[in-house]
Structure 1
Amino acid sequence: MEKTYTPVKEDFTLLDRQDLYTDKNFASQSYWKGVAIHFFKNRRAVIGLVIVLLIILFAAIGPSLNEFGYRDIVQYRNENNKRVVAKGISPQIPALHKLFTGEEPEGNFGSYTFLFGTDDLGRDLWTRTWYGARVSLLIAFVTIIIDMIIGMSYGLISGYFGGMTDNIMQRVVEVANSVPRLVIVSVLAIFMPKGIWLVIIALLLTEWIGMSKIARAEMLKTKEQEYVLASRTLGARNGHIIFREILPNTIGPIITQVMFSIPTAIFTEAFLSFVGVGIALPMCSVGTLIEDGFNNITTLPYQILPPIIVLALLMLGFNFIGDGLREALAPKLEDM
């Protein structure tokens, strides 16, 4: 009969902690920390983030950097010491003024500096451009946050319960998606005055559909996983399972959709204001400024440049951020 050996203390050697080696590439880290690392490694995403943050900063503080409000008509004293309205003054650089108008700048602008010039009514375009960007961003963020909550909840509930509930809810989505946006805006314009609320409600009625489809797809992919079945077995309620168990694991694609929906909302607001059913004058947005510049493009062509550049940069910046988030949330094997 063989004897069994009993280990004793002398058989073991205590390994000093400093002799331990941990491969940093495989060190444990949180999911969102990994997303942030991948995002900031993406040069285009960082450029887009910087562009958007700079425009938000100027939209926040730009209108307060001079003494004129967005509706103030600027007056100044000319060379004959007479007070006149600064109508259609191009950016206060003599060479640019001559380039845009073909004429030498008239009068003495005194202490006034019109970096973007003035419009045909004598209002400072610097103030109006950044105030308009503030209005457009406010509309976009408010509508997208509300649409995210509505669409996300709708899609998660539809995908979770499935069956007849899912069929009915998806038929509602198909009907809502089949109605053109311009028809919705036209109907709203009959019953509502032009302004911010008309644009916000028009966006609320249309932008939630894309969110709901993505949330439903993520729910269908996730609801049969083990942790969901374990929660259901332990008696968790449906609301707890949907919003406390499944939602945190599906939020990544929804955030990516939000980043792509913000420029869509900004462009939609600009389009509605451009065609005359958006922001009501004298309040301005990027769309109303583009409309004013387009109407005066033959006489005052410089007016259309600031709002178009701001709109283009916003669209570019948010799309770069969306691309970066999409790649960070689902990185390719060669990027890991």
Structure 2
Amino acid sequence: MKIAIAGAGTTGAYAHRLLRNQGFHVDLFDKEPKTACGLNPCAWGTSRDFIELTRAAGLEPENYILQRSTHVVMDEVRLKGDLLTFDKPALIKDLLGGTEIKHHPLELSAYDRVIDATGISRAFLPPTKRDILLPCVQFRVRPEDRLENKIKLGGVGYAWCFPLGRHGYHVGCGTLAADPNLALKEVGWLSKNPGWEVICACKGNVRLSGPHDSQPFVVDGTGEGVWGVGEAIGCVAPLAGDGVVPGMKSVRILLEHWDDPAAYTKAILKEFEWMKREREVIDKLLAQNRLGLKDAWVLKKNSRRMGMQVGLRKAFLLLKNLQ
């Protein structure tokens, strides 16, 4: 079987590794990188499930973890959490294991199956009707003093400061209500600290649609079709913006339902049912509808996936800060 993967980010590289471990020969395609690290913008933050998923690929997760955090400061409130940042370029490099990335156009007819891991592009899948793309801007900086792991909510989005160990910090902002550059400037983390060394900067978009609004996942186009994974099929938490772990999980679900498109679609929707509820909260925020305890419960429950301990009252207050 001739297989091609379009997209060499975390999800595409993970799919390549797992397929190669099962004895498949896979060609890998991607566009020429346009950022300093060679990747699409990402804060390099993730949750504890990253550890087991990395081990499943035959790699040692501790080799990539840059810093663990037992808390996060969200809107000046210190919350307990089990968060981590990881060396994303190093992980992708090891997942690929020296595989050549082809930068010329992928010809669908040359392959029996194509896996679309192209993120927001959905390059080989049809467009969706209710897509939500969050504009983001990010800087990697080396400040004069040590910073905390923190988040500032606002404008149907948030600003973040994530510690990266020896690599400095990622400071960025994503918002659906304004220019993220202007929103980050208003937060003041960079504008009030001109002495910080800026190592690199990038901008991009994150899909917040959720899988239920990112269908279809599988379409015709080759002998066995084009199968989407990761952000291409909405596997990104709409409220938190985390797509690393969901993307990896989508690959494992694909392998479990390799020959059954209907079963694959059903399994993805079941695994990420919680994203549907997060998407409903995003829709309320965009429509400026009143938020209730039901919405706060969604944030409270789903924040535990990121190892965060948020009470119902605090969750309600945090949601109001997103407006």
More contact order relative to length (CA 8 Å, sep ≥ 6): 1
Same fold (TM over 0.5): no
Structure in which a larger fraction of residues adopt helix:
1
So what's the TM-score if we normalise by structure 2?
0.22
So what's the TM-score if we normalise by structure 1?
0.21
Structure in which a larger fraction of residues adopt strand:
2
